[in-house]
Structure 1
Amino acid sequence: MSDLANRLINFNKTRLANVLQYKYDAMAENIFRFYRGTCHIFYENLQKIKNIPKSPLTWICGDLHLENFGSYKADNKLVYFDLNDFDECIKAPALWEVLRLITSIFIAFISLDIDQDQAVNLATLFIKTYSLTLARGKAVSIEPRTAKGIVCQFLKGADKNSYKDILAKRTKTKHNKVIFSLKHERHFQLDKKLKEQLIEHMTKWIRLNNNSPYNYEVKDAIFRLAGTGSIGVKRYLFLLKSTKSKDDYLLIDMKQALPSSLQPFLRNRQPEWQSDAERVIAIQQRMQNMSSSMLSTSEFQNDHYVMQELQPVKDTLKFKMIKDQYRHLYQVIDDMAVLTASSQIRSGGTDGSATIDELKAFGNSKDWQDEILMCAIQLAAIVKQDYKQYLKDYRRGAFNQET
């Protein structure tokens, strides 16, 4: 067994073994899914790169890649396009976020079979726009009225979605009752006792938590599979029905929060969070312009969870759908650079992170820009080697899970 296989198995040993095979299978699909599923490996490899320029400490989502931007409806009922995955969030050098993102450009273009010279052009664009946005020192948000190009189309389409759409995909009617459908490929039946305990827990959460919906009762619960890197964490989905309205339903996602995989590589002091769920929510609220609906924490059987509404409008921008529309990629990458810098500006000056003035000075500096591009190229080459080794190990059965 290779060193890479040992590192992956060791990292995932605390995950749920009965679903972990889905993660290993997903990572074998293509190099981009492998990249998504190996955030911890990326930061292990990052320590091997000797010429990374110094950068201010900022709040980062930690796992920023091309498909960790998406749409969601905030508490103010508007739909936004923004960073949308904060499992790994932490206070770290600003350029770690940039490196994770621009490396993903190179990896995505390998997956989509797009020329790497074009990847260099887009990575350069991201760096330029990111630095310019920092230099201005003003955070920007993107919603349907301000979005351009394909992101505008994406948000307008998302805004038209409804709970009828999401219920049609995820539920069925049995004996005149709406319940979850187990035909959905990412729904898994729960053990009867665990299901009862979860429903009891959710009922209590609705009653006691200030961020929970009022006048709703729990109708069903299932285990939910989602993402790539997070496959194997405990994750549940609840179907809630209004006690006041006949056809009014809500879906609540309950996702286990684990320590950030970046933590072992950082020496700077972090806040003393009460739990990793609190860390995720606190940093998400700092970095996003507006946070998603019902964002909250919960503790169940000694594990901590992030709670939020699973919305019909919440979705990630899939790059496969714009593979043949390369000109649109320029606007999308430009938007992502603006949002990345904006998230750091918005959260600047809190708990020891760089102030806006410090970020502006860094944005105005040109010393780091060429170097960071070369670092990303080096990291992309390492990912290619790792993926090649992963496929060898995978085909030899190194990741086969006993079920």
Structure 2
Amino acid sequence: MDMQVPAQTGRDASVLEHRRLCKIASSPHAYVRGSTARFYELLARMPAGALPEGPPVWICGDAHLGNLGALAGPDGQIDIQIRDLDQTVVANPAFDLVRLALSLVTAALNATLPGIVTARMMDAMADGYADGIADPEGAERDIAESEIVATTKRRALGRRWRHLSRERLKGKAGRLPRGSRFFDLDADEHAAFDALSRDPEVRRLVLALGGAASDAEIRLLDAAYWIKGCSSLGRLRYAGLVEVLGGDRPHLALLDVKEAVPHLAPAAPGAAMPADHAERVVAGARALSPNLGDRMVAAHFQGTPVTVRELMPQDLKIDAEQFSRSEAVRVSSHLAAILGRAHGRQMDGDARRSWIAAVRAPGPGPDAPGWLWTVVTDLMGEHQRGYLEHCHRIAREDLTRG
């Protein structure tokens, strides 16, 4: 792994890598989330035709359960959309559906739900995804709403800056709390972050979201290296706290600066995409998750492409590590419909109809499962084996360290 983090206390490359590997080992579901490269390696080994070839559209590329959640729109509306587009690419939409199905099924097994529930979840995902494609502008009116999704939206609606401040700033006024997550920048990094905060596009982003006047002053209060997430550990990740002076009263904004990395999913042949990885991520976000894409810009930090977005208090991931039998089916259908709408918005009528037919295609015989079941169950076996082997390696490394 190409580690681009300077060897500073708390930011040493080997320490971050070990931390990432331990996070992946915490559960089978965490392993699925943190092994995107392995996912695409296994898909590439499958026989030709195992997955149907859908119309090339922008896909998430890593549409696991943790990457869907509540996102605040510019009008204050809360929508459930894809919230992480690091791996976005123009490609076969089947990749996203399989990735989401594998994630949900693994979560169901973590919750010790029986196999018959898994079968119903898979059917619900195929139907919900197809319904989302058929009506991409629909307001989920024909979908049995998941209580997990509804609860996430209710929580997001009630959140304000003080909630984000309590979580991220830990009560610190005008400063990011140093410790296990935030670390000091060196002089060059701090100068680069200061320049980034004055970038015209970043300035426009912050002022637009805060509703401040175009001539308002933006002042950088603090910036730090940020240890966050799983797949991003070992990559450049920074947080910046800025104050916007203007309007009725000053207000604070928290910026998330994240290294843009190459995509892992194979792109569709001849796909037209920005060559710059950060611009690619922003383009994919605008196509798939308008609430996020409208408040994200592409930039460069010391020569590395990065995306910059303002974190909003209403942005919440879906917490669905545990769910009941009935809720497992509802949340599978609901999230698959959201994914289907993100894909369907990019297709014309003929493409939607042909892709829906491919998604719903039955197996070769009256009792044979469809392609989604076959692909996901094959992947489940490989990931379970990979998870145990991964845990065995971690256990041996820990014995060696001890």
TM-score normalised according to structure 2 size: 0.85
4+ long deviations beyond 4 Å: 206-209, 398-401
- CA gap of 1:142–1:232, structure 2 versus 1, over 3 A, is farther
Give the aligned partner of residue 361 of structure 1: 354
Q: What are the equivalent positions in structure 2 for 1:4-403 lying under 5 Å apart?
A: 12-14=1-3, 16=5, 17=13, 18-50=15-47, 51-56=49-54, 57-134=56-133, 136-141=134-139, 149-171=147-169, 177-183=173-179, 185=180, 187-205=181-199, 209-213=203-207, 215=216, 216-244=218-246, 248-263=251-266, 266=267, 268-291=269-292, 294-320=295-321, 323-348=322-347, 355-365=348-358, 366-367=360-361, 370-397=370-397
Q: Is the 8 A contact 1:81 1:142 kept in 2?
A: no
Task: Give RMSD over aligned pairs.
Answer: 2.6
In 2, Cα distance between the equivalents of 1:99 and 1:203?
A: 39
Deviation of 1:130 after TM superposition, in Å, equals 1.3
**3-state DSSP class of the match of 1:309?**
strand
Q: Structure 1's 230 and 356: CA in aligned 2 closer, same or farther, altered over 3 A?
A: farther
Taking the aligned partners of 1:204 and 1:400, their CA distance within structure 2 comes to 48
Distance, in Å, in 1 between the alignment partners of 2:302 and 2:232 is 19
TM-score by length of 1: 0.84
Number of residue pairs matched? Answer: 373
Equivalent-residue separation in structure 1 for 2:93 and 2:197 (angstroms): 40
Q: Work out whether residues 345 and 356 of structure 1, in 8 Å CA contact, stay in contact via their aligned partners in 2.
A: no
Which blocks of at least 5 consecutive residues in structure 1 are unaligned?
1-11, 349-354
Q: In the superposition, relative to structure 1, how do residues 234 and 140 fare at CA in structure 2: closer, same or farther (>3 Å)?
A: farther
Contact between 2:202 and 2:297, CA under 8 Å: does it hold in 1? no
Aligned partner of 2:108: which letter? F
Equivalent residue letter for 1:386: G
- Provide the secondary structure at the position in 2 that maps to 1:76: coil
Residues 199 and 53 of structure 1: is their aligned pair in 2 closer, same or farther, counting only changes over 3 Å? closer
Rounded to whole Å, the distance in 1 between the matches of 2:79 and 2:140 is: 6
Distance 1:298 1:84 in 2: 19
Partner of 1:81, secondary structure, is strand
- State whether residues 178 and 184 of structure 2, in contact with CA within 8 Å, keep that contact through their aligned partners in structure 1: no
Per-residue deviation, residues 224-252 of structure 1 (Å, max 9, x unmatched): 22222222211111111122365621101
Cα offset, 1:117, TM superposition? 2.5
Does structure 2 conserve the Cα–Cα contact (< 8 Å) formed by 1:240 and 1:250?
yes
Q: Deviations over 1:16-47 (max 9, x none)?
A: 41522221110111111111111011000111
Identity score, percent: 17
Mean Cα deviation higher: 230-239 or 194-203: 194-203
Question: Do the aligned residues in 2 keep the contact of 1:53 with 1:368 (CA within 8 Å)?
Answer: no
The one-letter amino acid of 1:303's match is T
The CA deviation at 1:194 is 3.7
Per the alignment, residue 9 of structure 2 pairs with none
Residue 274 to residue 47, structure 1, CA distance change in 2 (3 Å): closer
